[in-house]
């Protein structure tokens, strides 16, 4: 899995945390620890799916467009990283004269696809608000 999912979740949690639920790509990038351009790219994706809206021009930025306790990690995963648990590399060889060589790629495809469904089912149970609460809990344990 690449880290777009992580960045998307972090960005939304950060927005949820802000009183006005708004921040610029620069502020988010600083918080997430990456480049503003990368944030914009991923947020642009989240905008197209309705998670956030954007305001261009001066005083603009990204604005959380839904309720943090309604947005699940499953939705974010689907929006940013669907298919990413399956490795790009596939085993086997269709030209080989062996049932295993010819069909393993397809079977592993099924397996990874079902595995991803399990993952999504788990993410379904966690909202952005939950993650923010976990952050608060983690913070408390430091004090």
Partner DNA sequence: TGCAACTGTAACAAATATAATAACAGTAAG
Partner DNA sequence: CTTACTGTTATTATATTTGTTACAGTTGCA
Interaxial angle between packed helices 4-17 and 36-48, expressed in degrees from 0 to 180 and rounded to the nearest 10 = 80
Q: How far apart are the first and last CA of the chain?
A: 33
Is 114 near its own copies (CB under 8 A)?
Answer: yes
Is 54 near its own copies (CB under 8 A)?
Answer: no
For ligand FES, the closer CB: 33 or 139: 33
Instruction: Write out the binding residues for DNA, residues 8-37 only, by CB under 7 A.
Output: 24-26, 33-37
Is 45 near its own copies (CB under 8 A)?
Answer: no
Instruction: Write out the binding residues for ligand FES, residues 39-58 only, by CB under 6 A.
Output: 41-42, 45
For its own copies, the closer CB: 60 or 124: 124
- Give the angle subtended at the CA of 12 by the CAs of 11 and 17, to the nearest 5°: 100
Q: How far apart are CA 3 and CA 21, in angstroms?
A: 23
Is 55 near DNA (CB under 7 A)?
Answer: yes
Q: How far apart are CA 10 and CA 39, in angstroms?
A: 10
């Amino acid at each position: 899995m690449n880290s777009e999912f992580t960045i998307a979740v972090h960005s939304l949690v950060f927005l949820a945390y802000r009183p006005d639920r708004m921040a610029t790509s620069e502020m988010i990038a600083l918080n997430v620890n990456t480049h503003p351009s990368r944030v914009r790219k991923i947020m642009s994706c989240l905008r197209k799916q309705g998670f956030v809206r954007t305001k261009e021009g001066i005083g603009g930025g990204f604005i959380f467009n839904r309720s943090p306790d309604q947005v699940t990690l499953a939705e974010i995963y689907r929006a940013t990283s669907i298919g990413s648990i399956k490795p790009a590399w596939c085993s086997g060889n269709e030209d080989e004269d062996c049932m295993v060589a010819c069909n393993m790629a397809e079977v592993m495809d099924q397996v990874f696809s079902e595995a991803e469904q399990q993952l999504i089912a788990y993410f379904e149970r966690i909202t952005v608000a939950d993650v923010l609460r976990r952050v608060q809990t983690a913070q408390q344990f430091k004090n």
